[in-house]
Structure 1
Amino acid sequence: MIAPTSPFADRHRALETVSAWVLALLWLLPLLYALWTAFHPAAFATRFTLDAPLTLQNFVNAWQAAPFPRYFLNTFLLVTMILAAQLVLATLAAYAFARFTFRGSNVMFMLVLLQLMVMPDILIVENYQTMNLLGLRDTILSIGLPYFASAFGIFLLRQTFKTVPRELDEAATVEGASAWQILMQVYVPLARPIYIAFGLVSVSTHWNNFLWPLIVTNSVESRPLTVGLQVFSSTDQGVDWSIITAATLMTSAPLLLAFLLFQRQFVQSFMRAGIR
């Protein structure tokens, strides 16, 4: 016999559904406006009529107004470099905190957690002075170097590694595996969903980063996409929202396409990360 649902449960479910639709609309409306503006002439940017002509000229003008191939290459190199460094350093640090006992380990891990409370923007002046002293200013390396060590990645992987049974370590040790082999053949494969979840967060964060790249770079050869977009808002002819939205869509298209293609893997990775 199936127990009847309570009116309170029905109201709670209805409230959740309405809230989800409201949040979805709040996210979707700016995107729809950007699509309308980018695919229509500037005269129809605020005129929503059915007879408005479609055009791709805004994308052509945006592509010709800025060196987008260079910006895309810089951004791809930047996020790849940061993610690779973060994965290596976070994996080694998390494994040490999770499986080795040494003097001061708890204090060091507390310092890592303390870094999570520090906003990156607070360290802009110190980071700029450091990059200037190292002679790295106005390079792609100067943008990514302050983010190579990720406290969030260390914390996330450390908590995941601690859930791995000690028996696996002992069995691998009996088979003659070294600590490095245990890490790469036991811990890393078991934490694959966590790596995917962290990778998504890292790539999206540094793909959209604006303030630090703007400060530490001043040439096309090293600037990423987000900084390159400012050329469209600094023209003497005024602001052309059709070209700006077209350029913005080209900038965000890789992330949007990646989400649409791999949304199931995205959700599963974050769900597993939360469960662990």
Structure 2
Amino acid sequence: MVTDTSRVDRALFVTGAWVLALIWVLPLAWAIWSAIHPPAFVTRFDPLAPLTVENFVGAWNAAPFGRYLLNTVLLVSLVLGAQLLLCIHAAFAFARLEFPGKSILFALVLLQLMVTPDILLVRNYATVASLGLLDTILAIGLPYFASAFAIFLLRQTFKTIPKELDDAARVEGVTLLGLIWRVYVPLAKPTILAFALVSVSHHWNNFVWPLIVTSSVETRPLTVGLSIFATTDSGIEWSTITAATLITSAPLLVGFLLFQRQFVQSFMRAGIK
């Protein structure tokens, strides 16, 4: 039996969901409107306004977006590959192996979660500069090759896997590396997918660090490339800016729309709040 209280709770929940949806959708809707209409219609709504692709053409021609896109794909792939390779092994060690200083090392990993990346900008820049890696894609990704968040998340998942599987694999002659990649990694796929989505999204949108360590078109990612769409002599060209922003965010947006079910399920299974 549905009570008045439950009806009120449901109404509040639905209202809150609509408010949050509007807060997210309205800026996107305005960006799409501005990008597909002439500049004169940026600040006014007219159902009869003519559609145009000139803003996208102008944005694409104003910057080498093809190169920026390639750099971004290479960057997120490099970072994600390095993170999974390093963090899967580190998480397994913290979850299953015993070694001196294990608790202290894991406490240091957790401590890193409380340190904002901006605090390390100067130190990371000095390190990258000393290695002669400035203005390279490797310089952008190197500080993120190890992820405390990934280690913690995967460790918690690995600890839920029954130890009997370890014994069964060892009886079959599986090596330690084989145990990790043939037993633990397949069972942790939802968690790995959840982290991969977070990692790709973060490094696709990262701006400050790539801006600091890059200075040429050959190494700049999409977010830094957008910085060329600043003010001109005639002011801010919002139509061009929104078109360039949609070009930059379109791959992530399309990917989310295509894989939204897997996206939500992976986070639910991984226990990410």
TM over 0.5: yes
The Cα offsets for residues 171-221 of structure 1, whole Å up to 9 and x where unpaired, read as: 111111111111111100000011110000000000000001111111111
Counterpart CA distance in 2 for 1:92 and 1:274 is: 21
| Aligned position for 2:42 | 45
Q: For structure 1, which segment, 110-119 or 12-21, has the greater mean C-alpha deviation from structure 2 after superposition?
A: 12-21
The Cα offsets for residues 36-67 of structure 1, whole Å up to 9 and x where unpaired, read as: 00000001111101111100000000000001
Does the residue aligned with 1:228 lie in a helix, a strand or coil?
helix
| Aligned position for 2:132 | 135
AA aligned to 2:24 is W
Structure 1, unmatched stretches of 5+, are none
Runs of 4+ deviating beyond 6 Å: none
The Cα offsets for residues 98-150 of structure 1, whole Å up to 9 and x where unpaired, read as: 00011110110000000000000110000111111110011110000000000
Matched, 1:78 2:75: yes
Does the residue aligned with 2:223 lie in a helix, a strand or coil?
helix
After superposition, the Cα gap between the structure-2 partners of 1:135 and 1:111, relative to the gap in structure 1 and judged at 3 Å, is same
| Aligned position for 1:231 | 228
Counterpart CA distance in 1 for 2:18 and 2:251 is: 25
| Aligned position for 1:222 | 219
Percent of aligned pairs sharing the same letter? 66
Q: For structure 1, which segment, 22-31 or 172-181, has the greater mean C-alpha deviation from structure 2 after superposition?
A: 172-181
Q: CA deviation at 1:234?
A: 4.4
Contact 2:35–2:242 under 8 Å retained in 1: yes
RMSD of aligned residue pairs (Cα, Å): 1.1
- Tell me which of 258, 261, 264 is aligned to 1:264: 261
| Aligned position for 2:198 | 201
AA aligned to 1:143 is I
Counterpart CA distance in 2 for 1:237 and 1:70 is: 28
Does the residue aligned with 1:95 lie in a helix, a strand or coil?
helix
Counterpart CA distance in 1 for 2:15 and 2:235 is: 40
Does the residue aligned with 2:229 lie in a helix, a strand or coil?
helix
Matched, 1:183 2:180: yes
Equivalent residue pairs, number: 273
| Aligned position for 2:57 | 60
Does the residue aligned with 2:156 lie in a helix, a strand or coil?
helix
AA aligned to 2:213 is V
